[in-house]
Structure 1
Amino acid sequence: MDIYISGYGVVAKEFVQLIHDKAETIASRYTIKLKIKGIIIREGIVQSEDGLDLPRLLHYGVGTMAVKDYAKDSQYPIQPIDQMSGHVLVEATSTNANDGEPAYSYIKQALTSHMDVVSISKGALVHHYEELMKLSESVNRRIKFSGATAAALPTLDVGEYSLAGMTLTRFEGVLNGTTSYILDDMHEQEVDFSVSLQRAQEAGIAEKDPDMDVSGKDSANKLLLLANRFFSLNNHIQDVDVTGIMAVTKEQIADAKASNHKIVLLASAVLDKQTIHMNVQPTSIPTAHPLANLAPKEKGICFYTEEMGRVAVTGGASSPVGAAGAALKDMINLVQANF
């Protein structure tokens, strides 16, 4: 299987490491021979018909300059993106919340080159979901994106396959590990949001600019992708009502705690006939609720069906390795055609 990767950030590097570490095991267990044929950066593609030298590539570190240095020392020219020819693109560029570029262009190029796509980034699918799904159908290719919908937590897999044929009426989840950590810290330590945010940043859990997480935008993106897939609709990010956690006070946390509740950033989608109501907002839920008992940084999702009742899934590493593992899982399942 010839693999291309677009972007070479921390998650992409972890994906390369997984392929390097697990190639023999995957070949033995699944009879799939994996080969990373090329990496796409903004300037073009660094590729080799024989596959890139993974130990050597990993030695160069992470980022565009690492790929350029590897290409220069290996005497690989940077080629135009339309020279891409393989079986699957793993889209791992940073999520662009404005228009989904450059992931949008990379995914389109892969599909028109008759390649399947495994997307870890969200932006292109958030902004161009209907177009990209129609394009994939027209060329008989598939797009999988469980890594974009809560990384290691198998939200898509459970909703699509474990609940196949069931009547899903709604689902709700804690879909962002950073806000899960911050609100849990506020709950346990009884401190203000600013204190818990600083702790999360010092621990390397929250970004220097935490807006995507604490504003609820990241959760909204994941919610939208899940709702569109589960309910076969083509909603847009503007259809999600979003409130972040910045205004949550320690007094509100204490009041919830006193009544055996816990405040979480809850992302929910409710089907009302053919209309979806989607919300992301801080919500006080009973401590008996599965989503109130997550470990710091953990995520979770609850599905509500007419036939099976409530099905809850929790856990999944909120880490680059977890996201890379989700992409590897998607890729193996594509080949096996199980999902």
Structure 2
Amino acid sequence: MDVAILGFGFLGKNLVKYLTIRWDELKRIDPNFKVTAIANSKGYIYDSNGIDLFQLSETQDLTSYSKAPFCFEQAATLIEREFFDCVFELTPTNVKNGEPGLSHIRKSLSRGMNVITANKGPLVLAYNELVSLAKTNDCLLLFEATVAGAVPVFSLVRESLQGDKVIRIQGILNGTTNYILSRMYYEGVSFDIALREAQEKGLTERDFAYDIDGIDAACKVVILANAIMGRKAVLSDVKISGIRGINEEAISLAKKSGYAIKLIGEVEKDLRVSPRLVPLSHPLCVNGTLNSVQFICDIAGEITLVGHGSGKETVSALLNDLYTTLRAQAIKS
């Protein structure tokens, strides 16, 4: 399997790191497994014989990689010219027009390349189109990393709830807002201080409004609705209310009543993101940067998953999708 990684930021670098850790295992599964291209926003390196991930993992710098030249061309040129069995699309999320990720995924799928992505933008804007494109060209589009990071949301439904029906989904889908609300609840800090702490820890998006105004959570609600509930939802279908208006007084009143305030995303008849009062004993009531997702099924009842929604833990979801792709390739061959 020849693999390309488009996007060499935090997630791309951590993916390379964990590919080296799992290298022997991956080579046992597929002796021909290799990463032949890695791209960032300025260009890419390409080696048909395979990039030395161990060297690259040490330097984490594409331009200083010694075994292949750095090409100052866009990743779009790369995936038009070369063929890859699997493309990781890890460029930054853009919910306005989905680019450049949307074009990367469209081109890859149209050429019959399997795609694994952590990029929410293309799925929010063009989920049904991309799924249809994958089906038409007999390839996979996998996106476990787009919702709740390391929490195996889509894998659970795809593999373990095949005979069941998901009636409702709800959860804490944004770790940044959960961190802010947890700091306000347990440490008594103000909203502004908690937000500044989140920024200093690198938990927020470049534009923190994306987190605190509920846009990030709403994007995940759209993906859940379309992928699991079979909807044709778009972002404007979600009723969104963020956490800007949550102050110390509101936190104090909730605490006195035995509740915590959490930003909850919900998929049922309506799609919504809003602050809710959640009992402290409720399985969704997790703290810090943790995410939680609860499925209400017609046979299994309530199933709740909890885990890290961002950070290097998200690589777990990417690797899960890679192993799924490797198994599918083995069956084809």
TM-score between the two structures when normalised by the length of structure 2: 0.92
Select 1:109's aligned residue among 107, 110, 117.
107
| Residue 170 (structure 1) aligned with residue 164 (structure 2) | no
Paired AA for residue 70 in structure 1: Y
Helix, strand or coil: the match of 2:22?
helix
Displacement of 1:26: 3.1
**Structure 2 portions without partners, runs of 5+:** none
In structure 2, what is the equivalent of residue 263 of structure 1? 261
Q: Which runs of 4+ in 1 moved over 4 A?
A: 42-45, 76-79
Judging changes above 3 Å, is the alpha-carbon distance between structure 1 residues 164 and 55 closer, same or farther for their aligned structure 2 residues? Answer: same
Give the Cα separation in 1 of the matches to 2:314 and 2:188.
Answer: 31
Q: How does 1:105-144 map to 2 (within 5 A)?
A: 105-144=103-142
How large is the RMSD of aligned CA atoms in angstroms? 2.0
In structure 2, what is the equivalent of residue 20 of structure 1? 20
- Answer yes or no: is the 8 Å Cα contact 2:46–2:68 preserved in 1: no
Displacement of 1:212: 1.4
**Structure 1 portions without partners, runs of 5+:** 272-276
Using the TM superposition, name which of 128-137 and 34-43 deviates more. 34-43
Paired AA for residue 38 in structure 2: I
| Residue 322 (structure 1) aligned with residue 313 (structure 2) | yes
Select 1:312's aligned residue among 304, 308, 317.
304
Paired AA for residue 226 in structure 1: L
1:129-182 Cα offsets, whole Å, 9 max, x none, are: 121111111101110001011110111122332222212111101011111111
- Answer yes or no: is the 8 Å Cα contact 1:23–1:33 preserved in 2: no
Using the TM superposition, name which of 281-290 and 52-61 deviates more. 52-61
- Answer yes or no: is the 8 Å Cα contact 1:3–1:88 preserved in 2: yes
Give the Cα separation in 2 of the matches to 1:75 and 1:258.
Answer: 62
Q: How does 1:1-339 map to 2 (within 5 A)?
A: 1-28=1-28, 30-31=29-30, 33-42=32-41, 45-61=44-60, 66-70=61-65, 74-75=68-69, 77=71, 80-81=77-78, 82-207=80-205, 209-271=207-269, 277-292=270-285, 294-316=286-308, 318-319=310-311, 321-337=312-328
Displacement of 1:44: 5.3
Displacement of 1:231: 1.3
- Answer yes or no: is the 8 Å Cα contact 2:2–2:34 preserved in 1: yes
1:40-80 Cα offsets, whole Å, 9 max, x none, are: 3456542111111213323443xxxx324437x73354563
Give the Cα separation in 2 of the matches to 1:100 and 1:207.
Answer: 16
- Answer yes or no: is the 8 Å Cα contact 1:174–1:266 preserved in 2: yes
Aligned sequence identity (%)? 29
- Answer yes or no: is the 8 Å Cα contact 1:300–1:313 preserved in 2: yes
- Answer yes or no: is the 8 Å Cα contact 1:45–1:84 preserved in 2: no
Give the Cα separation in 1 of the matches to 2:55 and 2:263.
Answer: 42
- Answer yes or no: is the 8 Å Cα contact 1:5–1:89 preserved in 2: yes
TM-score between the two structures when normalised by the length of structure 1: 0.90
Displacement of 1:118: 0.4
- Answer yes or no: is the 8 Å Cα contact 1:84–1:113 preserved in 2: no
Judging changes above 3 Å, is the alpha-carbon distance between structure 1 residues 232 and 183 closer, same or farther for their aligned structure 2 residues? Answer: same
Give the Cα separation in 2 of the matches to 1:210 and 1:236.
Answer: 22
Judging changes above 3 Å, is the alpha-carbon distance between structure 1 residues 100 and 217 closer, same or farther for their aligned structure 2 residues? Answer: same
Using the TM superposition, name which of 18-27 and 249-258 deviates more. 18-27
Judging changes above 3 Å, is the alpha-carbon distance between structure 1 residues 100 and 89 closer, same or farther for their aligned structure 2 residues? Answer: same
Using the TM superposition, name which of 73-82 and 32-41 deviates more. 73-82
Helix, strand or coil: the match of 1:205?
coil
